[in-house]
A and B are shown apart, each in its own frame.
Chain A
């Protein structure tokens, strides 16, 4: 069904010819003069009514609504003036011309009376030609005025309709994009109130692997056009986040879509982060928004992620290559992402809040607890009642998800999948290992065959942890102990990229076996790499002891699996995961 189209009246094509057959009100004329005017006006094709004195004049004026008023000042100037003023006061829109008449030659008197609101005057002996042309001029002006008034009314009517429709559409879009749709307890935000779309919006969603992904976006312009452009972004974001795509994949996809649909002058600056609690890792991309900050609990900024890319929607797909930065995080670390509106917020003296002020607050806070409120308070104090500009956007992302994922909900379609035994295996060698991550696809198989969606996050943790170990330590020979501090962690990540690039030899073998039992099953996950292995008898640090940033993955896997065994020289691992029907 098409939406109801609001009435848009046609602008009438009126001519501005004076109307014929007008009703003329003659006020305070002597009997003789009244007769002279009446004869003349009738001959001109007009109708005539007359009145004596203020009271009658106004009564007739309201009752008969004359098109033009002639006021004779010959008998009583004062009263005539009062009548002119009273008529003009009542005449807000209609523009009823008032003509002063004095058949004695009294120009000075008439000129003096003009400021009371009369439009013209005639003096001296009765002259049909003068009265005819002055009346016609008045009536023509009146017709023009009415035409303008009509146009104005029609235009403002249309304008109101457009505003109303924009407003409605904008409210719908804003609601669709509003952060209340994601409702994640560790993500807090400040955003302009619903109802106006400033061009800024926030998106956040859980990933199927127990992590989260979030985005702060700043569209060019504001209002409806920006809101419409923001919609595909939101669709792509939520659709891809749900399927577990990476920051890079999502950013590439949004860029391509926006590039195709937007006119060249429109684009979207954005910051996107993903958080993987199992790896205590954040991935960050910043294209055109101010620095993204990673604040460590109890100390200053751990990392600053400045914009390194063009905003989205500007470059065609083949020229767009987003660089993702990665950083290890600890529980209670927080990430702050904002658009330029917050640093451009002004106080009553037109001074800006500024990046420096904001940065100082975040840097100097002792703990991350309460920091968000501290920022809001500082901003409110600074603005001191200055009206809110409509694009104050800030997101605080707390890196405190439980690394041991809980189980999600069982869907009805999965609850009754038949139990069966099956197995799958994959052997990957050097060149493939360089570019292909087998984890998402294998996990998808695992989940689909047996209907194990509720176990997805836990299985992901086990699988990705063991695979990462095989690749990074087994094949690439990287040393976890490099990761003792942040610099070391960065160096580790860079070295990893470098070694992957140069990888030629090496092989990883993955075998997955499922054995069904009466009300569930056991998954054997075996990973074998061609690396030198490691001393798997060495003691392991405690789970979640965040002071030690390395080799934390294994205790995590142990906590989830029923069994975890290293074989051979430490290059062969077998994990058993038991599951039960609900």
Chain B
């Protein structure tokens, strides 16, 4: 599992890319990733193109991110999910909490 981040030049958009297994072991790194957000960061993107596996703790981490960056006003997009990952989001109905593309 590797987590990398990218902040747009104006600091407004933070992209977190998760590679490999997204599970409980990613907890610390994932938190460190979103703590890099600037004070003016308003848009968050979780890039899951290279995510092979996700468990319910990973869903929990996404909820935690949502909570930290504004709760109901958070602007978080989860992008490029593989079909298996997409299925997990479907079953959990996380589409009500995040923009899932």
B93 touches A220 (CB 8 A): no
B94 touches A310 (CB 8 A): yes
Closest B residue, CB atoms, query A219: B56
Q: A218-B56, A220-B56, A265-B57 are in contact. Are A308 and B63 (CB under 8 A)?
A: no
A267 touches B91 (CB 8 A): no
**Residue among B24, B57, B92 making CB contact with A310, cutoff 8 Å:** B92
Q: Measured between alpha carbons, how far is A221 from B56 in the docked complex, in Å?
A: 7
B93 touches A310 (CB 8 A): yes
Q: Measured between alpha carbons, how far is A289 from B92 in the docked complex, in Å?
A: 7
> A309 near B: Cβ within 8 Å?
yes
> A314 near B: Cβ within 8 Å?
yes
**Residue among B64, B66, B67, B92 making CB contact with A311, cutoff 8 Å:** B92
Interface residues of B in 63-101 (CB under 8 A from A): 63-64, 66-67, 90-94, 96-97
**Nearest CB of B to A316, in Å:** 9
Chain A residues touching B, range: 20 to 34
> B49 near A: Cβ within 8 Å?
no
**Nearest CB of A to B9, in Å:** 31
Residues on B with C-beta less than 8 A from A310 are: 92-94, 96-97
Interface residues of B in 22-78 (CB under 8 A from A): 24, 56-57, 59-61, 63-64, 66-67
> A190 near B: Cβ within 8 Å?
no
B64 touches A307 (CB 8 A): no
B93 touches A308 (CB 8 A): yes
**Residue among A264, A288, A306, A309 making CB contact with B64, cutoff 8 Å:** A264
> A269 near B: Cβ within 8 Å?
yes
Residues on A with C-beta less than 8 A from B56 are: 199, 218, 220-221, 267, 269
Q: Measured between alpha carbons, how far is A309 from B94 in the docked complex, in Å?
A: 9
Q: Measured between alpha carbons, how far is A311 from B94 in the docked complex, in Å?
A: 9
B57 touches A220 (CB 8 A): yes
Residues on B with C-beta less than 8 A from A199 are: 56
**Nearest CB of B to A388, in Å:** 17
Residue in B57, B59, B64, B93 with the greatest tally of chain A CB atoms within 10 Å: B93
**Residue among A264, A287, A289, A340 making CB contact with B66, cutoff 8 Å:** A264
A265 touches B93 (CB 8 A): no
Q: Measured between alpha carbons, how far is A220 from B90 in the docked complex, in Å?
A: 17
Closest A residue, CB atoms, query B88: A340
Closest A residue, CB atoms, query B92: A288
> A561 near B: Cβ within 8 Å?
no
Residues on A with C-beta less than 8 A from B96 are: 310, 315
Closest B residue, CB atoms, query A263: B64
**Nearest CB of B to A270, in Å:** 12
**Nearest CB of B to A211, in Å:** 27
Residue in A199, A264, A267, A311 with the greatest tally of chain B CB atoms within 10 Å: A264
**Nearest CB of B to A256, in Å:** 17
> A54 near B: Cβ within 8 Å?
no
Q: Measured between alpha carbons, how far is A268 from B19 in the docked complex, in Å?
A: 26
Q: A221-B57, A310-B97 are in contact. Are A265 and B63 (CB under 8 A)?
A: yes
A220 touches B59 (CB 8 A): yes
**Nearest CB of B to A14, in Å:** 31
**Residue among A265, A266, A269 making CB contact with B92, cutoff 8 Å:** A269
Q: Measured between alpha carbons, how far is A265 from B27 in the docked complex, in Å?
A: 11
A314 touches B63 (CB 8 A): yes
Q: Measured between alpha carbons, how far is A288 from B88 in the docked complex, in Å?
A: 9
A221 touches B63 (CB 8 A): no
**Residue among A265, A307, A309, A340 making CB contact with B61, cutoff 8 Å:** A265
Q: A265-B63, A265-B64 are in contact. Are A307 and B57 (CB under 8 A)?
A: no
Residues on B with C-beta less than 8 A from A269 are: 56, 91-92
Q: A220-B59, A265-B57 are in contact. Are A288 and B93 (CB under 8 A)?
A: yes
Given contact pairs A269-B56, A311-B92, enumerate 4 new A-B contacts (beta carbons under 8 Å). Answer: A218-B56, A264-B63, A267-B59, A267-B63
Task: State the 7 A-B residue pairs at the shortest beta-carbon distance, nearest first.
Answer: A265-B60, A264-B67, A265-B64, A220-B56, A288-B92, A310-B93, A307-B91
List residues of chain A with CB under 8 Å of any chain B CB. 199, 218, 220-221, 263-267, 269, 287-290, 306-311, 314-315, 340
List residues of chain B with CB under 8 Å of any chain A CB. 24, 56-57, 59-61, 63-64, 66-67, 90-94, 96-97
6 contacts between A and B (CB under 8 A): A220-B56, A269-B91, A306-B91, A309-B93, A314-B97, A340-B91
